[in-house]
Amino acid sequence: MHKDVKDHSIAFGWVGISSVAVFFAGILACVAVDPAWSWTASSDADKYYTFGCILGGILVALYGVGKIQYGKTIGYCFAGVMIVLAGICIALQGVFTDESVTTVSKFLFILVAIFSLIAASLCTIEQNKAGKTLYVGAVMVIVLTALCFIASAGENDMITAVTACALAWVAIDGCSIVLENILGGKN
Amino acid sequence: MDAPKCAKIGMSLGFLGGIATFIGFASYGSLNNTQTFVDMAYVLLISVMFFAAAGAFRPGTAWTAKGATLMCYLTLAVVVAITATGLGDFAYGFVEAIIAILMVVMSYDKDTQKYISQ
């Protein structure tokens, strides 16, 4: 029974990593089709962005469900709920790509950042309790970089950078689950 | 217990990082001549972080071994954040990030952790 639980949790770890890969693949496809592409302006390449957001968001939400199901503590479970909400916001982001609804898009981006920050904080507290300094250090770098972008960058750059940081955290958390299963709970 | 090699290297790297930041600050300012008080504050913050992290590699201080490792990570985080947002010079930021990563690696050494926890 315990073996089954471990096998499923590693699968969810891979889902977390692939969700970020799908999202960034969508962005890269947009830039490849239209080098001047920007998420704030309408373009022919928007369909790739929509595809990346919706599929990436669904995978992030699925990863959150795995976090809830296999979370050992209440902190991990609550972080899972936050990840599910962030995933839903990313998927909705793909629906609202029209130029007239950029206010909605920006609001969704801010929600993604807030949900991810709460989830990252909760997971970091739990990992710190378990003595996993590598994870804590990696999250420290990501969160401080995001905060610096919030403090210094322009609105559009800030939103893009903070979302990238949030997704980078999802990838690191997924890697942590995969490595934990492979190495058996070591750092 | 004598200081392990990794503790000595970690402390030296901390001082080197702090001094390198000051040198970078001086040359960057003289090249651009556009430094503001805020720019100075960011550079001084990195420098202070490096010196504090260097101090964590000594026994009998307030730092635990885990605290020293996290301090090195925090130094790395500050360097990466300031460089990534363009608030600091990229070339110096890159060198400082490598120094900070080496300090993190040194802090994981088992003998160094025992030495710091004395």
Q: pLDDT tens for residues B65-100?
A: 888 899 999 999 999 998 888 777 788 888 899 999
Q: Does the pTM of the predicted model rise above 0.95? A: no
Residues in chain A within 8 Å Cβ distance of B109? none
User: Does B82 lie at the interface with A, CB-CB under 8 angstroms?
Assistant: yes
Evaluate if residue A187 carries a pLDDT over 80: no
Tell me whether residues B77 and A144 touch, CB distance under 8 A. Answer: yes
Tell me whether residues B70 and A145 touch, CB distance under 8 A. Answer: no
| A165 → chain B, closest CA residue | B81
| Domain ranges for chain B | 5-116
Tell me whether residues B77 and A141 touch, CB distance under 8 A. Answer: yes
| Whole-number Å distance between alpha carbons of A185 and A111 | 32
* Largest interatomic CA distance in chain B: 49
Q: Shortest CB distance from A145 goes to which of B70, B80, B104? A: B80
| Whole-number Å distance between alpha carbons of B40 and B29 | 9
ipTM beyond 0.85? no
| Mean pLDDT of all residues belonging to chain A | 82
User: Does A154 lie at the interface with B, CB-CB under 8 angstroms?
Assistant: no
Residues in chain A within 8 Å Cβ distance of B82? 148
Q: Is the dihedral of CA A136, A14, A114, A145 positive or negative?
A: positive
| pLDDT reported for residue A1 | 43
Residue B14 Cα distances to A52, A127, B20, B86, angstroms: 43, 27, 10, 23
In our burial notation (b when 16+ CB lie closer than 10 A, e otherwise), range A164-177 reads: bbbbbbbbbbbbbb
- Least confident piece of the model among A102-106, B20-24, B52-56: A102-106
Kindly give the residue spans of alpha helices, DSSP state H, lying in A96-154: 102-129, 133-152
A32 or A85, higher pLDDT: A85
| Whole-number Å distance between alpha carbons of A174 and A138 | 13
> How buried is B98 (Cβ within 10 angstroms: 0-12 exposed, 13-18 middle, 19+ buried)?
middle
Contact B14, B53 (CB under 8 A): yes
